[in-house]
Chains A and B, each alone.
Chain A
Amino acid sequence: LKVAVIVFPGSNCDHDAYYSFKKILKVDTDFVWHKESNIDSYDLVVLPGGFSYGDYLRCGAIARFSPVMKSVVEHAKKGKLIIGICNGFQILTESGLLPGVLMKNSNRKFVCKDVLLRVENSNTAFTNNCRIGELINIPIAHGEGNYFCNPTELEKLKTNNQVLFRYVDEFGTSDTNSNPNGSIENIAGIINKYGTVLGMMPHPERNADPLIGNSDGLKILKSIINSFGSN
């Protein structure tokens, strides 16, 4: 199992992702610069958080044209796994690997805090280590995390169980009060229809080291490792 953490100019969560996979989960992990065009040897691609290309034009809009993204799209076509976190999620929607778009937070603020997520589908490569309905505590840090898609897309996402995480309160309720950014139906993370590409705004890699007192993010990262049958 080999993990590629893609590094764009302006990525800033690449080291956290690298640390989580390499040092915590002891998986063979490399940084891969965005100019790279061959990523055939990797099983999992991580598109990390940050501000690729200074968020010029729109978040993720320019990273999408980085040379490595052609190979990332090929990687997806082969049915190999991709996880895009925060800016990575934005890059996935911009490149069309996931539907919808991440707009400016409805409250006009950059939101940086721990939030509770409800796991909506535990039968995926990214959540097999969680229980359905389980609440996990994962930090968010973004100004553009307001997920939106048209009603037809939204219906498809729900029918195919592609909504993986919703923002909720401590009682597991998803409503406007537990919605940190205005996302449609409190959506925090979605997968593609094949279940191989995950995009999520919260940062599991920031909550992956038990040393910091909360390692809920590990549940997601471990699920990915489990899905390769190496557990």
Chain B
Amino acid sequence: VKAKIKVMLKKSILDPQGKAVLHAIQDMKLGNVEDVRIGKYIEITFKDGKKDAIQIDVDQICNKLLANPVMENYEIEIGEDN
């Protein structure tokens, strides 16, 4: 079983990395780009376990380690290993 996790800065938080990339994209003159936000994508592979139980564990892992709830939100997707 694999947990796929997306961590993004909250909308209210400035993303300097995103801003720098935004400026680079604007220099490329491709499309009318308004904003860029950069986050993290994390995969955790579990040897075994039920999806529901894994969901609960991953939620804790995100809350305590992978994301800082003061400034970040996260989304979890539990799926088959592939």
Residues of A within 8 A of B (CB): 57-58, 61-62, 65, 93-94, 100-101, 103-108, 146, 148-150, 182
Contact = CB atoms under 8 A, between A and B. Distances in A.
| Secondary structure of the A contact surface, majority rule | loop
Nearest to B67: A58
Contacts, number: 36
B13 A103 contact: yes
A58 B68 contact: yes
Nearest to B69: A101
A104 B72 CA distance: 13
Query: What 6 pairs between A and B have smallest CB-CB spacing?
Result: A108-B16, A101-B70, A104-B16, A101-B71, A101-B68, A106-B14
Interface in B31-47: 40
A100 B69 CA distance: 10
Contacts of B40: 57
Residue of A94, A104, A150 with most chain B CB atoms under a 10 A cut-off: A104
Given A62-B65, A106-B14, A108-B19, 13 more contacts: A57-B40, A57-B66, A61-B65, A61-B68, A93-B70, A103-B14, A103-B71, A105-B16, A106-B16, A108-B20, A146-B14, A148-B70, A149-B70
8 contacts: A57-B40, A61-B68, A65-B65, A101-B71, A108-B17, A148-B13, A148-B71, A149-B70
A127 to B, nearest CB: 26
A65 B14 CA distance: 27
Contact-residue size bin, chain B (C-beta under 8 Å from the other chain): 10 to 19
B70 A100 contact: yes
Contact of A104 (B17, B65, B68, B70): B17
Contacts of A65: 65
Contacts of A94: 68
A103 B13 CA distance: 9
Contacts of A93: 70
A150 to B, nearest CB: 7
Contacts of A106: 14, 16
Nearest to B14: A106
A149 B16 CA distance: 18
